[in-house]
Amino acid sequence: MKPLTMYQTAALMLCFTAAHIFTLRPEGANLVVCIGAETAAAGIVFVIAIIINSLPALHGWAGKAVSALAGTFFLAAFLFILIGYCEEVQFSFPEFYSLPMTAAVLAAATVYCASMGLSGCVRSACAAVVMTVIVLAVMSGGAASGFDPDRLNLAVSDREGQFTRQLISALARSWELPLLVLLMRRTGRPVRAAALYALGRAALTAGILTVCAGVLGSVGQERQPVMMLASFAKTVIVERFDALMLLFWTLCTLLAGAGLLWAAWHCLQGVMGKAERRKA
């Protein structure tokens, strides 16, 4: 297996972050508190990944058992992400997309992308993440006229409680942690890859939520702030960004799902004891 570069590993992981950001719901929590919680979650994920990666690899029956467990987890994570995406699409664009068909199409496309191999997925992930960041930056620029730093406040009575709840929620949504550990074993510089991912996750989440908080204020706390920002941002060429957000959200979700499917397949191969096929 060709070792991945740290950028490729981080990019595939950031697809999870990007996919999650678009549907993030603070459930009434202060957005500045959310920023803190998400940043802390990124740091915790990094530390956990490093610890697990430093553990020795298991062989024999123990190894197969772990592979089986991991494979099941990856499949379950894929299904959760798939269903979660379909439900959110229904919520955001109810007139157009029916849940069963959306799920079927996304599943088929994800399987196809996964069948292209890990290298195809990670390279595509690099492109997807770069494009997503650029579009988010342009969107933020389009909404910048409404930005007011005074909306970034911590006037919350239950600051610690909100922080804890958001942190737990962020960690619970970190499906990509086992995949990160798996990919770290295939990356040339695993620690740097994990650090790059954690930094990227923190920066991306903090950046976009800061803009959301500064533009939307308390309005963004009750809804999906990023989608709301997308429907407010306006530029000369693109009048509104929610359609573009749908595009990049779908792209990132698809690639994230492909990564999970590849991981599940890899674990299955580990259970079956099949060696990796090398190209002739």
Partner 1 sequence: MAEKKNDRYAVAGTVNETLDRLKKLLGGSADLNTADAEINGVRCAVATIEGMASAQLLSELVLRPMAELAGSEEQTPQSLFSLISERSLLTADRTLTSSLEQAAELMFSGFAAVFVEGSQQAVLFGVQGYEKKAVNEPTGEHNVMGSQEGFTEVLRTNISLVRRRMKTPSLRLEQLRAGSRTGTDICLAYLAGRADSALVTELKRRIKGLELDTVLTSGMLKPYLEDGEGVRLFSEIGSTERPDVVCARLNEGRAVLLIDGSPFALICPSLFVESFRTVDDACSKPYFVLLMRVVRFIAFFFAVMFPGIYVAAANFHPEALSLKLLLNLAASESSTPYSLFVEMLIITVLLELMKEASVRMPKAVGSAISIAGGLVIGDAAVKSGIISSPLLIIVGLTATASFVIPGLSQQTSVLRLVYILAGGTSGFFGIAVVSAMIMCNAAATGMGGIPYTAPLLPFSRKGAADILSRRSPKALEQSHTVISELSEREGVSR
Partner 2 sequence: MKRVYFFLTAMLLIFTSAGSRDTVASLDRAMVHAVGIDISDEGYSVTLQIFHPDGEGSDTKLDPGKSNMLVVSAPAATVERAVSLCEDKLGEFLFIGHVQVIVLGRGVEPKDPEGLFSYFLKSRESYLGVQLASTDGTARELLEAELTEGAVAAQNIVSVIERSRENSDSVACDLLSVLNSESGDYAMPRLKLEGSSEDKKKEQRLLSDGAQVFTDGRRSFTLDVGECAALAHLLGEEHRSVVELETDSDTAGFTLKSEGTEVSVLKQGDRLLCRFEVELSVQRDQSTAVRLGGELPLSELEKKLTSESQALSKRLYTEKTDLLNLTRRIKAKYPQVWLDCSESADTLLSLTYVEIKVSCVEK
Based on the shown chain and the rule CB under 8 A, indicate whether residue 269 belongs to the binding site for partner 2: no
Report DSSP letters for 124-145, one per residue: HHHHHHHHHHHHHHHHHHHHGG
Q: Amino acid identity of 44?
A: I
Based on the shown chain and the rule CB under 8 A, indicate whether residue 228 belongs to the binding site for partner 2: yes
List binders of partner 1 among 77-106 (CB under 8 A): 89, 93, 96-97, 102, 105-106
Count Cβ neighbours within 10 Å for each residue of 174-207 and write b for 16 or more, e otherwise: bbbbbbbbbbbebbebbebbbbbbbebbbebbbb
Separation of first and last alpha carbons in the chain? 13
- Which of the listed partners (partner 2, partner 1, none) does 153 bind, with a CB threshold of 5 to 8 Å by partner kind? partner 2
Q: Which residue in this structure is represented by tokens 């006037």?
A: 155
Q: Which of 19, 33, 41, 126 binds partner 1 (CB under 8 A)?
A: 126
CB of 123 to partner 1, least distance (A): 4
User: 178 vs 257, which CB is nearer to partner 2?
Assistant: 257
From 21-29, 109-117, 174-182, 211-219, give the range in contact with partner 1 by CB under 8 A.
109-117
Q: Give the separation between CA 245 and CA 233, rounded to whole angstroms.
A: 12
Based on the shown chain and the rule CB under 8 A, indicate whether residue 115 belongs to the binding site for partner 2: yes
Q: Give the separation between CA 20 and CA 18, rounded to whole angstroms.
A: 5
Residue 52 half-sphere exposure toward CB, CA atoms < 13 A? 17
From 12-20, 68-76, 145-153, 190-198, give the range in contact with partner 2 by CB under 8 A.
145-153
> Under rule CB under 8 A, how many of the chain's residues touch partner 1?
47
> Under rule CB under 8 A, how many of the chain's residues touch partner 2?
39
Four-point Cα dihedral 121, 105, 24, 200, nearest 10: 10
CB of 36 to partner 1, least distance (A): 31
Q: Are 243 and 6 a contacting pair, CB within 8 Å? A: no
Residue 234 half-sphere exposure toward CB, CA atoms < 13 A? 4
Based on the shown chain and the rule CB under 8 A, indicate whether residue 240 belongs to the binding site for partner 2: yes
CB of 234 to partner 2, least distance (A): 6
The footprint of partner 1 (CB under 8 A) covers 1-3, 5, 7-8, 89, 93, 96-97, 102, 105-106, 109, 112-113, 115-117, 119-121, 123-124, 126-128, 238-244, 246-251, 254-255, 258, 276-279
